[in-house]
A and B are shown apart, each in its own frame.
Chain A
């Protein structure tokens, strides 16, 4: 048996073993929406003495693996925190290399053999896209258009995103909507206090998906860093100490087991 055949057999065995685990986990509720804060790429780079920026590339392949595991398991919505508005504060060289990497990977997403087409994933880019450079913004818009017909699963990539910016944007949209309604009616009646919580939730960038069930932040950090603050009221926050490029199948399994362990309580909170 040569190396290629042996690798193929190990791959098949691995896939089979994973499917057995999925079978066991599926005996109870599988989370509908998992969000990831991909923290630890730079630390990984430093630890392994890699060139600046290599950590992000390794992080990207971790992301592809995690997406594969999630979609194989049957998780319908996956959100990832790719780039925060606060990250623009980093050095121009780092920001530019991140933007270049994102443009390259976004273009890769719409290729035939990508994971997005394999699992029928619709991609959304969530955030203040006007803050992105033109090539990245165009690539994102093209990817959203190309995957618009996919309906088996959803990937939400938070890029140029912060929760506070999302809430602010939603408030602006609500005000505009209510003002336009008045202009259309044009009956001189200017009612006060017309905006409700439901109006705000309707205009959020994340309104295209239900609230997350689990938010996984790697590197052991325990804060949310302005990510999904509004949507995480009844969400399990899970912080494994592993760095993002080192995250694997078993970390996902542990997160889901914890979710299932606390499911009754979380469901009760959601209904409250």
Chain B
């Protein structure tokens, strides 16, 4: 920059700006070399930045573990009294690879049952949970848990209530909408009269044949905060919370997420 100001001193305006550009172009070329991807310094700095990010995530994990321990063991009482009336329908999205660990899934559901959640929608992209429906339903067919389980897992010493399940996968998402579109097409175009029909969202809702309400809260168990294709029509105003990976699930954090949800005030656009 000092070089260009010295040059600027004695040249007319047009040549001045051209020279200025030339100087900065040289500077840029020397400093940035070719493209960013080829620049070793940038690549090194990128790795440093991502290393710092990993350390931050690790620190967050540790903090969450401590927080969950404090909540679960009653040291923090803020989350003990949940207004569960507000959580009429809870949805869980699990990454399909993680969903193959059925024992982990069942433990999660046992915790939810202990908290008092009555209706749960289970989603995974590939339908792993749908295929394990039998195993899961069998586990929850009895209304109260046996003494054996409470010795292993202190959380389950609370009474477990009956829990209703819905199993959803990717075929209930976009494909279901295509099916509903065909229902409307067959009904109003092929079999209907010649007048152009007027569809409303209610018509499409009806054609989707989904009798369940929209989930209030959606907990994601997976590497990223991403709903992985949960049926679009049903998550308009659903609060979406990322809980981390299924194998690192924590009871206290579920309480915290539900508690936070019950405090949320939605305007629904207005």
Q: Which A residues are closer than 8 A to B by beta carbons?
A: 9, 12, 22-28, 84-87, 89-90, 162-165, 167-168, 171-172, 174-176, 178-179, 190, 192-197, 199-201, 221-226, 229-230, 232-238, 257-258, 260-262, 265-266, 269, 272
Contact = CB atoms under 8 A, between A and B. Distances in A.
B238 A257 contact: no
A171 B199 contact: yes
Given A24-B46, A27-B46, A192 B186 contact: yes
Contact of A167 (B204, B226, B238, B239): B204
A163 B236 contact: yes
Given A24-B49, A175-B189, A193-B186, A87 B224 contact: no
A79 B267 CA distance: 22
5 residue pairs, one from A and one from B, having the closest CB atoms: A86-B269, A229-B232, A26-B36, A27-B46, A233-B229
Contacts of A201: 174
Nearest to B186: A192
B232 A178 contact: no
B241 interface: yes
A99 to B, nearest CB: 15
Contacts of B228: 233-234, 269
A265 B71 CA distance: 31
Contacts of B232: 163, 167, 229-230
A194 B190 CA distance: 11
A233 B42 contact: no
A192 B39 CA distance: 57
Contact of B125 (A23, A262, A272): A272
20 contacts: A24-B49, A25-B46, A28-B46, A86-B268, A89-B268, A90-B269, A163-B232, A164-B201, A168-B204, A171-B181, A175-B181, A175-B188, A192-B185, A197-B177, A200-B174, A200-B178, A222-B239, A223-B266, A226-B236, A230-B232
A233 B189 contact: no
Nearest to B182: A193
Contacts of B230: 233
Given A168-B201, A237-B225, A265-B224, 13 more contacts: A26-B36, A26-B37, A27-B45, A28-B46, A85-B269, A164-B204, A165-B201, A171-B204, A226-B236, A226-B237, A230-B232, A234-B228, A261-B50
A84 B269 contact: yes
A197 B176 CA distance: 9
A195 B224 contact: no
Given A86-B268, A260-B50, A234 B199 contact: no
Contacts of A25: 46
B234 to A, nearest CB: 9
A190 B269 contact: no
B270 A266 contact: no
Given A24-B49, A260-B50, A236 B225 contact: yes
A224 B37 CA distance: 34
A178 B189 CA distance: 9
Nearest to B199: A172
Contacts of B35: 26
Nearest to B27: A16
Interface string B23-65: 0000000001001110100110110011001100100000000
A41 to B, nearest CB: 13
Given A178-B185, A192-B182, A167 B177 contact: yes
Interface string B85-115: 0000000000000000000000000000000
Given A171-B181, A194-B182, A224-B240, A269 B226 contact: yes
B69 interface: no
B235 interface: yes
Nearest to A90: B270
Contacts of B167: none
B184 A87 contact: no
Contact of B178 (A85, A86, A197, A265): A197
B27 to A, nearest CB: 10
B82 interface: no
Contact of B185 (A12, A87, A195, A221): A195
Nearest to A198: B178
Given A89-B270, A175-B189, A238 B233 contact: no
Given A167-B232, A230-B232, A261-B53, A87 B269 contact: yes
